[in-house]
A and B are shown apart, each in its own frame.
Chain A
Amino acid sequence: MKLRKNVAVSEAGLLFNPVNGESYSLNPIGVEILNLIREDKSPEQIIKVILEKYSTDKATFEKDYFDFIGILEHHNLLESHEETNA
């Protein structure tokens, strides 16, 4: 899973998609997860990092994590599998 090329994320959490000009505001945990995605961490690694750092249970975070990934996919911010494998 990779963030699309050229998608920019500011330190303050503003995500900009240069292809369609859309901007999104992320909360601090969203920025953290996005940075882990950009470091090519797997979903398992990301879940592990977050669970070690914050007091939440695995089931709750997994649900929130996959919801978040679903939103990124919905807004076309992640590379498709074909693009990732190309």
Chain B
Amino acid sequence: MKKRTLNIAVTGLNAIDSPGPGVSVIRALHEAASFNVNIIGLSYESLEPGIYMHDLVARTYSIPYPAAGIDTLLARLEYIHEKEKIDVIIPNFDAELYPFIKLEPKLKAMGIHMFLPTLHQFEERHKVNLNDFGRKYGISVPHSKVLYDLNTVHSLPSEFSFPMIVKGKFYDASIAYSIEQVKSYFNKISAKWGLPIIIQEFVHGTEFNVTGLGDGKGNTIAAVPMRKQYITDKGKAWGGISIADEKMLDMTRKFLKNTKWRGGFELELMKNKDGELYLLEINPRLPAWIYLAVGVGQNIPEALVNLALGEKVKPFSTYSVGKMFVRYSWDMIVDREEFEQISIYGEL
């Protein structure tokens, strides 16, 4: 039987030291067994490497930053849809999820499908609400506090011991060993990502991540735990290995069952020396290391696309344990004309 070809638009084509998941998602989609793909890249900046990977991405269009507003994004997507007849969009940045969730009904009416968490799920799992989230769903989370005002940092030592983590609302986290460092990180991170700043108890231990997919009805469609083996100074895994930890899988299933999570996700976990697991963060999208899940037998992006199209997807039941990913950066040679094309016309 001839496989259908889907036009799938993907964001997150960047690959700086904190790489976007887009290119990994695209690799996964090219390996899908249930469909062929024509990939449309959606970029925010002209130097996102995925734009120039013509063997993976057929055509790229620049899209406006979320700060430009939902209507501006919708107008741009309407233009792109007119040219490309998009079947599915996979947004891969935390910061763009809010406008895409808001636009989901309008895009669906245009024939564009997505499989995103609901606005309630998106807000509830936010770092700012993690304490309440842990209490509500019976999941251990480190104690955290939300700060809007630099003057309130002086009260922190009565509630937290040093070191403590200073986190931005979307990205960035630093370990502070003194009030002076807390202040410095507060200013640095809030200048980049805005307020609030989240202070989180530091849990000593080993870092793990789980990526997976929830069907929105409480079922686990996919789940793959990974131990970070090589961590950059930004805390990003540059190498990792799939593991078989039942506690982590149980926590993942509990998270999906209780929240009825819809879409891809990444859980950031810390295991202390007593083997207790803490949930540090829930990323409401697929992670940059998603290709490891494909490598161990769970093509999560493919399953996500099928769910977005309203098809029945059989949950994955197994994966290979002990498979590693080792990340590499690659210098592409690009003609200046291509850079000009995407910079000036917003299309390549």
Contact = CB atoms under 8 A, between A and B. Distances in A.
Contacts, number: 25
Interface in A1-35: 6, 8, 16, 18-22
Query: Which of B242, B243, B271 gathers most chain A CB within 10 Å?
Result: B243
Contacts of B206: 20
Interface residues of A, number: 8
Contacts of B253: none
A80 B243 CA distance: 21
Interface string B294-338: 000000000000000000000000000110000000000000000
A18 B322 CA distance: 6
B262 interface: no
Chain A contact residues: helix, strand, loop or mixed = loop
Contacts of B242: 21
A16 B322 contact: yes
Interface residues of B, number: 14
Query: Which of A6, A19, A21 gathers most chain B CB within 10 Å?
Result: A21
Nearest to B242: A21
A15 to B, nearest CB: 11
Contacts of B140: none
Contact of B245 (A8, A16, A19): A19
Contacts of B243: 18-21
Nearest to B243: A21
A6 B322 CA distance: 11
Interface string B209-250: 000000000000000001101000000000011111100000
Interface of A: 6, 8, 16, 18-22
20 contacts: A6-B244, A8-B322, A16-B322, A18-B243, A18-B321, A18-B322, A19-B244, A19-B245, A20-B227, A20-B243, A20-B245, A20-B271, A21-B208, A21-B226, A21-B227, A21-B229, A21-B240, A21-B242, A21-B243, A22-B227
